[in-house]
Structure 1
Amino acid sequence: MKQTAIDYGAVFQALPGMVAVLTPELVYADVNEEFCSMSGRKRQDLVGRYLFDVFPDNPNDSGASGMRNLAASLQRVITTGERDAMALQRYDVEVAAQPGEWEERYWSPVNAPVFGPDGKVALLVHRVEEVTELIKARGGPSGSRARVLEAELYTRARELQEVNERLRQAHAREREVAIALQEAMLPARRQVGHYDAAVRYRPAVGALNVCGDWYDLVDLVGGHRIGVAVGDVVGHGLAAAGVMGQLRSALSAASRVAEGPGEALNVLGRYANVVDGAESATAVTTFIDFDEHTITYSSAGHLPPVLVHADGRIEFLDQATDPPLDARPDPIPRPQACTRYAEGATLVLYTDGLIERRREDIDTGLARLADSLGRHRKEDPERLADAVLLELLPPGGATDDTALVIVRL
């Protein structure tokens, strides 16, 4: 049977309930018919206009907060890329045909992101359930019952907002503690100062999104050698930060006595099997020999390091990749590979927050990283790190942690 193309414009207009599409600047891009009908506005009065120019808070009510709450919700969606369902809101809406006259309305909004090809929030879907008639029913035998219902619903909504605010504050405190703990367990800048290196750690946006990303640089025994590693623990908050600290310390110790990075990850894998919360943790470690101009590396389920050769050639170090740390109850020796470099090359290790975006193939993110490194390769490590973060991280911050290490060879 021949399939007929779906007219999504007609579907949008026929959607039940009030639905609007907003740009990240909170300008109306489109509205459906019911949004116009229930808001008392014509489409030409909405499309192309800033949301809060059309629907400001009532200037005659100093306690009005509906539009302020809506603005906060929309900003959360833009920043986190996550859907946000709001509690029941009271809005005073100016009557279109009677400027200066305000009508009390009750709306239950849900805001959701629409992502563009680059993985960033390109549009916002703002859906509203109109419940004014239910809450503000007046007159007749049910009038008093409706007024009681209105009072109860409004009280519950205010209570829910207060609970949400307390949770937000608690989550913010947890985030601050987790970040402080995480940064305390990562090498300080003065510890990497005798290398020509730059390190960066960027926590995720959102109160609970502090994750378990880590990096490490250690002096190795024998010759002019260092070990450079990054890793990622699945999970969020204090628990992930604690596991991160254990794994980083264990790999740092193992690297100092191991014959190579494969053996170091073998030891770390055995340790991860007895650490609660280390499930599916990943890591990659590189041993740099400055005398021999070689990099030996091994990866446990982690993204490949990037070697930017002095002539601009980009090499992904992906010839020794194995499953995550705890993937095997009885680990077998992990692979390792070796590559050579000329003086002036640059080694880059990173975690997935730098390149991964929702609904985007990971190869796209890797290509974006390679392009940025190639264009800025002549910068010193500190400036190169800043340039890469500026170009690759979303303006509002990523929803996953990012660790970045850059070493000039």
Structure 2
Amino acid sequence: MSETAIDYAAVFRALPALVALLTPELTYADVNDEFVRASGRPREELVGRYLFDVFPDNPNDPAATGSRNLRASLERVLATGERDTMALQRYDVESLERPGEWEERYWSPVNAAVEGPDGRVDLLLHRVEEVTELIRAHGEPAEGRTRVLEAELYMRARELQEVNERLRQAHAREREVALALQRAMLPAPRPVGNHRTAVRYRPATGALNVCGDWYDLIELPGDRIGVSVGDVVGHGLEAAGVMGQLRSALSAASRVAEGPAQALEVLDRYAHFVDGAESTTALTAVIDWDRGWITYSSAGHPPPALLRGDGTVEFLDRATDPPLDAHAEPTARPQATLGFTGGDTLVLYTDGLVERRRRDIDTGLAALAASLTRHRDAAPGALADAILRDLLPPQGVTDDTALVVVRL
């Protein structure tokens, strides 16, 4: 059978598992026949309706978490484009025959992204296996080893739910500690000389992903400032500790080094002796208003963007080298210089702003350039906020984002 002869709509309807297609707004776009049968809802009561209007949590159970867990999973898929397999969920459903009565149901969901030609998530595929009948068998008179195994499965499912909840609470606590640690180590927004700047930091959506990124702005002799950004490969509290050490070391090196390349060379040697610092990316630049120059050097970091007064955007990518501690021996790093004029804007950032899984980074860089051009007349703070609105999905992303804007 040729591919063009396959009726994919008929295949979708006939799938033996419960399958629904959801829009990014979490309304039902379509459901297959098995979903209609198992849910007990006719198709016209599903398609076009908001998922959690159709299936809210049981209001009689204050401990119900089904809708919260499902919403979090779907939002992760929207933000990352990655498939998310959920743990077994208890998610009660209101009886259609007896309104106000809720039936105890157990589901094993998998959520996946359906991307359009532009790489954006157009639909969410929500596949569910229902195991309610198997779980209900627990507590009935035992009928041989099958009942024993079913009861054991029930207990294991209950234990897994409890473990998942404890892990969720532990991750939430770690996130709070990690963010507090990062706030203590990153410099507070403040004026740098007489120059207009703005900094923004957006943490990752997951506790285990937070706290690998940093930024820094320092005053240098003459009408100069140093600006840097970096990204530690690890995540969580360990990455936050490494980040603090590297940021402080680069800040100190930048004050005495002859230029950005030499500052990165010092940081490179320092990173060799810091556990967890390998493969960290960093970029540092010196802005000299007396000469009208930007001098920069990059250790594997995404290129800064220079927004010209006429709205054109140039990426500073002529001094890029591997990340920290990539060389077996101390190695000289490249450095480049270019001129600027009053009214230009320099933008430094970490990869959480432009990189997405299954999307070429050039797509993210093009989106950044378009955003800069569109908002070129905005003040640094307003420009930073506009960039984040344009490039970060509202559900958040799985990597930190640091952003520095300097009006030249």
TM-score, normalised with respect to structure 2: 0.88
Instruction: Compute the displacement of 1:239 (Å).
Output: 0.9
Instruction: Compute the displacement of 1:340 (Å).
Output: 0.8
Tell me how far apart the structure 1 counterparts of residues 100 and 173 of structure 2 sit (CA, whole Å): 43
RMSD across aligned C-alpha pairs, in angstroms?
Answer: 3.0
Q: How does 1:66-145 map to 2 (within 5 A)?
A: 66-67=66-67, 69-78=69-78, 81-94=81-94, 103-116=103-116, 120-137=120-137
Change beyond 3 A, Cα 1:210–1:56: closer
Aligned partner of 2:182: which letter? Q
Instruction: Compute the displacement of 1:134 (Å).
Output: 2.8
SS at match of 1:274: coil
**Which of 257-266 and 104-113 deviates more?**
104-113
Tell me how far apart the structure 2 counterparts of residues 70 and 387 of structure 1 sit (CA, whole Å): 30
Aligned to 2:286: 287
Tell me how far apart the structure 2 counterparts of residues 71 and 281 of structure 1 sit (CA, whole Å): 33
Instruction: Compute the displacement of 1:84 (Å).
Output: 3.5
Aligned to 1:253: 252
Aligned to 1:396: 395
Q: How does 1:162-311 map to 2 (within 5 A)?
A: 162-190=162-190, 192=192, 194-221=194-221, 223-311=222-310
Instruction: Compute the displacement of 1:37 (Å).
Output: 3.1
CA shift digits 1:318-361 (9 cap, x unpaired): 11111111111113211111111111211111111111122222
Aligned partner of 2:349: which letter? Y
Instruction: Compute the displacement of 1:383 (Å).
Output: 1.5
Aligned to 2:22: 22
Change beyond 3 A, Cα 1:233–1:89: closer
Aligned partner of 1:133: which letter? E
Instruction: Compute the displacement of 1:288 (Å).
Output: 1.1
SS at match of 2:3: coil
Aligned partner of 2:39: which letter? S
Tell me how far apart the structure 2 counterparts of residues 303 and 402 of structure 1 sit (CA, whole Å): 12
Decide whether the 8 Å contact of 2:139 with 2:151 is kept in 1: no
Aligned partner of 1:408: which letter? R
Decide whether the 8 Å contact of 1:84 with 1:111 is kept in 2: yes
Change beyond 3 A, Cα 1:159–1:326: same
Instruction: Compute the displacement of 1:175 (Å).
Output: 1.2
Decide whether the 8 Å contact of 2:192 with 2:225 is kept in 1: no
Change beyond 3 A, Cα 1:119–1:351: farther
Change beyond 3 A, Cα 1:141–1:192: same
Aligned partner of 2:9: which letter? G
Aligned to 2:44: 44
Instruction: Compute the displacement of 1:132 (Å).
Output: 3.0
Tell me how far apart the structure 2 counterparts of residues 63 and 353 of structure 1 sit (CA, whole Å): 35
Aligned partner of 1:293: which letter? G
Tell me how far apart the structure 1 counterparts of residues 324 and 37 of structure 2 sit (CA, whole Å): 57
SS at match of 2:239: helix
Segments of 5+ residues of structure 1 without an aligned counterpart are none
**Which of 67-76 and 233-242 deviates more?**
67-76
Tell me how far apart the structure 2 counterparts of residues 356 and 92 of structure 1 sit (CA, whole Å): 38
Instruction: Compute the displacement of 1:233 (Å).
Output: 0.8
**Which of 330-339 and 34-43 deviates more?**
34-43
Aligned to 1:342: 341
**Which of 164-173 and 64-73 deviates more?**
64-73
Instruction: Compute the displacement of 1:279 (Å).
Output: 1.7
Aligned to 2:368: 369
Instruction: Compute the displacement of 1:381 (Å).
Output: 1.2
Change beyond 3 A, Cα 1:265–1:56: closer
Change beyond 3 A, Cα 1:263–1:377: same
Instruction: Compute the displacement of 1:311 (Å).
Output: 2.8
Change beyond 3 A, Cα 1:83–1:305: same
Change beyond 3 A, Cα 1:194–1:205: farther
Aligned partner of 2:203: which letter? P
Instruction: Compute the displacement of 1:366 (Å).
Output: 0.9
Aligned partner of 1:347: which letter? L
Tell me how far apart the structure 2 counterparts of residues 7 and 343 of structure 1 sit (CA, whole Å): 61
TM-score, normalised with respect to structure 1: 0.88
Aligned partner of 1:374: which letter? T
Instruction: Compute the displacement of 1:102 (Å).
Output: 5.7
CA shift digits 1:116-149 (9 cap, x unpaired): 4565543222211122333335999865877666
Aligned to 1:33: 33
Tell me how far apart the structure 1 counterparts of residues 63 and 295 of structure 2 sit (CA, whole Å): 64
Aligned partner of 1:265: which letter? L
Aligned to 1:315: 314
Decide whether the 8 Å contact of 2:75 with 2:395 is kept in 1: no
CA shift digits 1:196-241 (9 cap, x unpaired): 21111111112211031111112224x3222111111111111111
Aligned to 2:358: 359
Tell me how far apart the structure 2 counterparts of residues 15 and 66 of structure 1 sit (CA, whole Å): 24
Instruction: Compute the displacement of 1:80 (Å).
Output: 5.6
Aligned partner of 2:347: which letter? V
Tell me how far apart the structure 2 counterparts of residues 248 and 382 of structure 1 sit (CA, whole Å): 23
